[in-house]
Amino acid sequence: MKKNLMALAFGLIMNGSVYAESVISLEVIGQHQTGVFAEGAAEIVAFDAGSQRVFKVNAQSATVDVLDISKPSTPVLVNTIDATSLGASANSVAVNKGVVAVAIEAVNKQDPGVVAFYDASTLSLLKSVTVGALPDMLTFTPDGRNVLVANEGEPNDDYTVDPEGSVSIIDIAKGVANAIVRTVDFKAFNGMEAELRAKGVRIFGLGATAAQDFEPEFITLSDNSRYAWVSLQEANALALIDVNLAKVLDIQPLGFKDHSKVKNAIDASDRDSRINITKWPVKGMFQPDGIASYNYRGDTFIVTANEGDSRDYDGYSEEARVKDLVLDPTAFPNAAELQKDENLGRLKTTLANGDTDGDGDVDEIYSFGARSFSIRNSRGQLVFDSGADFEKITKQRLKSEFNSNHEENGSFDSRSDDKGPEPEGVVLGTIGNQVFAFIGLERIGGIMIYDVTDPYNVTFVDYINNRNFNVDAQLADGSVNPSVGDLGPEGLTFIPAGKSPNKKPLLVVGNEVSGTTTVYQVMVKKLK
């Protein structure tokens, strides 16, 4: 099966910035379909070179499905890891040298969860260990000596029980059978909430300490396995952890994106019946989900997919639309005009930030996510952001499908009021001497590709969207339409040519809404 929907290489000029002609592109060469619609039947994916298998989290059946991709054009489901006896569902999976690690949440999500280890070939359970509440993303350190898992510690829906977020470091240096768990918590920051807020770190849960409020989302590591950066998505921050010491060294606030600048323009309304990417008096919270890292000239650089997320529970919600805010008349003398649905009125914003002088009205408007990807140095300082690229590129490529949602075709502009294309996952791949970032757009779908070799000189490469917008996404029986392609890219993994079954670099993507796992071959056109 070969198709290359909307993956045309092109030269593009935007706001005076020249985007280079593509040096690589993606071509779909294989796909596994579950037929399951919008149930998370294909989420996080990991690859084991030894067995030539892809392990994918299937939240729909609370298992990890095992795909044989020894022939990448025909992925075959060969087995399933059923981890339900160890908890409620599998949330994430990682593989290293024939060992599969699976993060499993407890039946009561506020209780401690489990990380289970399996043999990648036999799928036999090797060991399970207890970790923190709601273990989600997990990863092996580059040296293979440790597994780190982000324990989100989300509150219950009534917001009456709020476990502490943490990172578990599982030492497997002496083998999985002798695994030792160390817990990195955030208790040292309790009592420092005011100081952290002043620096831009969001701490706002009902009666929550810093340790309760921080919810680790994603982890990336330095090449030498010594340091980990953890995205604290709701807090709009990164935590820097010393792996050897099992200690948080720093909380790095990510700041805010100024959407009043042309380079950071957004389309903020789903009720204006048009594409209107323009500047607005809004500050975007970066709030990354997926993060990755690489080394450039001796420093570690962190690549973030700036998805955005809000707290929206029965017991507490921070969400409000701009039209429902009481805007400060001095800060917003044109408030009545701004609050019209066709302008900013529909944009989702937070009630937890914005009243800077404590008088009860909103002095600054904050939106969720930055509709971009960014690169930061090891100290958390921003060195690159893709600005308005994602909306401008999708406008050019998919004008009639701009800011669609991921469950329904014919949904033009429906996400403009709520995080736009919503970049969620990012993975890096090295080809030759170049490093490429592959960023998945959760809503409209598709993969953005950038050359990030030099974090100070980043170039757009290509955009591919393997989605058929001309058919119904769901069939009458509730299953996914097999001809719709991919909906809702969630997890991505890059397979370098040296480990690839066909000796070509591959990108494997799990799509949670269409339940598809898609294998792309990276087509190399020219390299530096």
Instruction: Encode pLDDT of 274-325 as tens digits.
Output: 999 999 999 999 999 999 999 999 999 999 999 999 999 999 999 999 999 9
Which are the contacts of 109, defined by CB distance < 8 A and separation ≥ 6?
88, 133, 134, 154, 156
| pLDDT computed for residue 275 by the predictor | 98
Q: Is the pLDDT of residue 21 over 90?
A: no
Cα–Cα distance for residue pair 415/422, rounded to 1 Å = 9
Instruction: Encode pLDDT of 452-496 as tens digits.
Output: 999 999 999 999 999 999 999 999 999 999 999 999 999 999 999
Place of tokens 């339409």: 481
Instruction: Encode pLDDT of 97-116 as tens digits.
Output: 999 999 999 999 999 999 99
Question: Exposed, middle or buried: residue 504 (CB in 10 Å: 0-12, 13-18, 19+)?
Answer: middle
| 361 within a domain of the structure (yes/no) | no
| pLDDT computed for residue 14 by the predictor | 36
| pLDDT computed for residue 59 by the predictor | 86
Tell me the average pLDDT across 5-31.
57
| 497 within a domain of the structure (yes/no) | yes
- Residue 528 — pLDDT band, cuts 50, 70, 90? low
Q: Is the pLDDT of residue 16 over 70?
A: no
Percent with pLDDT over 90 in the chain: 94
| 178 within a domain of the structure (yes/no) | no
Mean pLDDT of the chain: 95
Specify the DSSP class assigned to residue 329: T
| 77 within a domain of the structure (yes/no) | yes
Q: Is the pLDDT of residue 7 over 70?
A: no
How many structural domains is the chain composed of?
A: 1
Cα–Cα distance for residue pair 511/522, rounded to 1 Å = 18
Domain that holds residue 56: 12-106+216-257+284-309+369-524
pTM (predicted TM-score): 0.95
Cα–Cα distance for residue pair 353/283, rounded to 1 Å = 10
| pLDDT computed for residue 17 by the predictor | 33
| pLDDT computed for residue 60 by the predictor | 77
| Residue spans of beta strands (DSSP E) within 351-499 | 366-368, 373-376, 382-385, 423-431, 434-441, 447-451, 459-464, 489-495
Specify the DSSP class assigned to residue 346: T
Instruction: Encode pLDDT of 245-273 as tens digits.
Output: 999 999 999 999 999 999 999 999 999 99
Residue pair 309/289 in contact (Cβ under 8 Å)? The answer is yes
Both tokens assigned to 10: 């092109």
Residue 188: phi and psi, rounded to 5, are -65, -15
Q: What is the CATH classification number for the domain harbouring 494?
A: 2.120.10.30
- Residue 340 — pLDDT band, cuts 50, 70, 90? very high
Specify the DSSP class assigned to residue 322: G
Q: Is the pLDDT of residue 3 over 70?
A: no
| pLDDT computed for residue 525 by the predictor | 83
Which are the contacts of 146, defined by CB distance < 8 A and separation ≥ 6?
140, 169, 170, 171, 172, 173, 225, 243
| 131 within a domain of the structure (yes/no) | no
Percent with pLDDT over 70 in the chain: 95
Tell me the average pLDDT across 206-220.
97
3-state SS, residue 193 = helix
Which are the contacts of 57, defined by CB distance < 8 A and separation ≥ 6?
40, 42, 43, 44, 45, 64, 90, 91, 92, 93, 491, 510
| 263 within a domain of the structure (yes/no) | no
- Residue 18 — pLDDT band, cuts 50, 70, 90? very low
| pLDDT computed for residue 463 by the predictor | 98
| 357 within a domain of the structure (yes/no) | no
Instruction: State which amino acid sits at residue 87.
Output: G
Residue pair 495/428 in contact (Cβ under 8 Å)? The answer is no
Q: Is the pLDDT of residue 20 over 80?
A: no
| 173 within a domain of the structure (yes/no) | no
Which are the contacts of 74, defined by CB distance < 8 A and separation ≥ 6?
30
Tell me the average pLDDT across 175-201.
98
Tell me the average pLDDT across 237-250.
98
| pLDDT computed for residue 8 by the predictor | 33
| pLDDT computed for residue 4 by the predictor | 39
DSSP strand pairing (76-82 vs 89-96)? unpaired
Cα–Cα distance for residue pair 418/209, rounded to 1 Å = 28
Cα–Cα distance for residue pair 42/64, rounded to 1 Å = 9
Q: Is the pLDDT of residue 10 over 90?
A: no
Instruction: Encode pLDDT of 360-405 as tens digits.
Output: 999 999 999 999 999 999 999 999 999 999 999 999 999 999 999 9
